[in-house]
Structure 1
């Protein structure tokens, strides 16, 4: 089995994607409730519930010694918090001082110690516009303009990063994210790995790492959810056989709004004007968030599942045909978690119980399992190919 570390593991979406491919020898999650969900699915023996900044080098060295021995780390998974980089952040400047953004640099401490063969990094697409990400790229690549190491005591990586849509990788959801992958450089110089900048200051790789999974277009939302055969719900109802299949109640006016929203993709622009269902703020010019109070469409992909995905008032989270918002189960399935995956909304809570808001946050912040799986399968394949290439050639048979 290959070995991996999962930093900022959250509820465990990428660890789930690693099943059968990589043994997660250590996972790090700061939030205790979210860590409870991780533990329900992946165990707690390898889980550090701790601020990554407070994990000392001595502890990392001990993990390396006891869980890897002389074996190399095959993969480092790093999915740091994205809120500070989001386009919806109140701090719009690419140089904003959101402390969460500095967590990206913590990845380098682990990289420099373990020197993993591959790196998988995921964040919002807007991270590309931030100076701290540019610094991260420079330090991770660790090569000069000629392709030689800048710092001799640190590993160097040939990188590739692209903005992808999860719908192109098996997830029935339009979700734009930046994926960065890296492979440790063993032979120098490597001028292909140099970080360059466009005239607008956007970083790019001289010649990106020639490794990337093939696209795997997802089925549309209706086709994807059909196989799970979820029973219909009314607003505020919970499925008696699946407590995660639960949706929020709606006020009388919101019930009236969704009943007047056409099925499969209708929006607030479709409301009859004589019913006065619109909000005053929506009548102003240049008001954005047109998806608010909208329905999903079975014949299309879901919008991005966010932490507010259970609220009809926070986006296009109305059910395609039923007069309600989507349920936690539907949100988890759209994020491509298996139906067997367990969540909890409270510290050491029971399966699929506790705060719905906490569970929605875990689901919305997760890396979609099928998206991560495509990349992890590619890493696994590349590791196997490298192993075959390193095998000594067989001696030719000599006839006697």
Structure 2
């Protein structure tokens, strides 16, 4: 097995979920990271501080980022112009800054290419266009785009899906890449979470393809018999973590803080020589806890609110009959007495306030995971939301990864909102590790095969464009 290491540049890097997976593969050195969020890039830098060669980082809007500064940063890390092996990022597709495009383009010294005009007139496409422009300048052997599945249906020119079609067209015709696109379920790559992502893999060194799936729905016997492992459950991911304390005082403590024997997954996550940081959750108002205490693991809001209303209706009917009063009067009295919680008569999103189930996978962990009304972010049995560390485990971050929640203090690990924002927006490291190993194997084959000259590659690209 080859031990050669390749190079990665990550844009929209956030806290570094992608780079963690690439580093963990043992096949890549992270040479560069770029993002605009202070604490996220601070976390990226902190977790790469012990790399053989820590990556260069630039904290700036990619639209204002001069390509020359990227080349210089890569050169300082030993990556010459044209030698970058992989570039990865997840540019958002809408909701961008309202600054005028010409201001961005002038300051960022953008060089246009053929497909530029197809996206340029819509400012919402600024970031995806800029990402492609940077790729055109860096010419990595592999280019990866990671995004929400909705990107593939994003409307443009009055037609759904047109944006992704144009992106593929630019990659193939303008930049000369072979492209493969698919929506993947992160659970199929050992992430204990039913999180779907759109993945574009573009290759300039051969056919493009996605890594083989390693896990499958445990109900699919055919896939399990073919060698795939069952999806990882919430229990396997977090049941070895103890109840959290009010402050992050367990972090850095002895490994004896862990509770119980680890699953195979949890054992892989226990990469630290001490108990991990970030095992804290926020305090919740009593009205939120009054909802959570009634929820059963793995159920939907619709099912649980219907169950509670049925229970309440029996109590209301009994009181109305016993006191010979109206249904509405009986309900009002029971609400005042705290017997009936009126919130269960309201309509919410189907996963609002719901609990994780030990024997299933988490739903998508989002940046709002500290707001229990935003989704399935409550602990399976305890009366609380999940901690940052539990969310990180469900995203497949190993325990040695520390989320730094202050720009000015490496020891700050307990600001829940900032930490959950980083965790929810990250690429799950297990998914990126699978991509890294897959791309490394193709780069190995290229290195072992007959190398073509730069002139031959340029000639081939012109033929493909023609």
**TM-score, length-scaled by structure 1:** 0.78
DSSP-derived class of the 1:245 partner: coil
DSSP-derived class of the 1:47 partner: strand
Partner residue, 2:9: 5
Q: Judging by fraction of residues, say which structure has more helix.
A: 2
Of structures 1 and 2, the larger Rg is shown by 2
How far, CA to CA, are the matches of 1:71 and 1:31 in structure 2?
Answer: 28
DSSP-derived class of the 1:244 partner: coil
Alpha-carbon deviation of 1:17? Answer: 0.9
DSSP-derived class of the 2:130 partner: helix
DSSP-derived class of the 2:83 partner: coil
Alpha-carbon deviation of 1:57? Answer: 2.9
Partner residue, 1:139: 170
Q: How many residues align?
A: 341
1:371 and 2:384 aligned: no
1:279 and 2:343 aligned: yes
Partner residue, 1:241: 250
Would the alpha carbon gap of residues 100 and 33 (structure 1) be closer, same or farther in structure 2, given more than 3 Å must change? farther
| Contact 1:253 1:277 (C-alpha < 8 Å) held by counterparts | no
Partner residue, 1:174: 194
Q: Which moved more, 1:176-185 or 1:348-357?
A: 348-357
How far, CA to CA, are the matches of 2:341 and 2:135 in structure 1?
Answer: 54
Q: Deviations over 1:154-201 (max 9, x none)?
A: x31111111111111110001111011011167xxxxxxxxxxxxxxx
| Contact 1:76 1:120 (C-alpha < 8 Å) held by counterparts | yes
| Contact 1:342 1:352 (C-alpha < 8 Å) held by counterparts | no
Partner residue, 2:233: 220
Q: Judging by fraction of residues, say which structure has more strand.
A: 1
**TM-score, length-scaled by structure 2:** 0.68
DSSP-derived class of the 1:4 partner: strand
5+ residue gaps, structure 2, are 97-118, 157-162, 216-230, 252-276, 316-338, 453-466
Partner residue, 2:290: 256
DSSP-derived class of the 2:379 partner: coil
How far, CA to CA, are the matches of 1:348 and 1:99 in structure 2?
Answer: 33
Alpha-carbon deviation of 1:251? Answer: 2.0
1:291 and 2:301 aligned: no
Partner residue, 1:165: 185
Would the alpha carbon gap of residues 266 and 45 (structure 1) be closer, same or farther in structure 2, given more than 3 Å must change? closer
Partner residue, 1:306: 366
Partner residue, 1:108: 132
DSSP-derived class of the 1:249 partner: coil
RMSD (Å) for aligned C-alpha atoms: 2.6
Alpha-carbon deviation of 1:253? Answer: 2.3
Would the alpha carbon gap of residues 113 and 64 (structure 1) be closer, same or farther in structure 2, given more than 3 Å must change? farther
| Contact 1:8 1:29 (C-alpha < 8 Å) held by counterparts | yes
Would the alpha carbon gap of residues 363 and 55 (structure 1) be closer, same or farther in structure 2, given more than 3 Å must change? same
5+ residue gaps, structure 1, are 86-94, 143-150, 187-208, 393-400
Alpha-carbon deviation of 1:232? Answer: 2.1
Alpha-carbon deviation of 1:303? Answer: 0.8
Counterpart of 1:60 (choices 62, 70, 80) is 70
Alpha-carbon deviation of 1:140? Answer: 1.3
DSSP-derived class of the 2:279 partner: strand
| Contact 2:18 2:432 (C-alpha < 8 Å) held by counterparts | yes
| Contact 2:281 2:416 (C-alpha < 8 Å) held by counterparts | no
Would the alpha carbon gap of residues 111 and 278 (structure 1) be closer, same or farther in structure 2, given more than 3 Å must change? same
How far, CA to CA, are the matches of 1:75 and 1:176 in structure 2?
Answer: 22
| Contact 1:118 1:183 (C-alpha < 8 Å) held by counterparts | yes
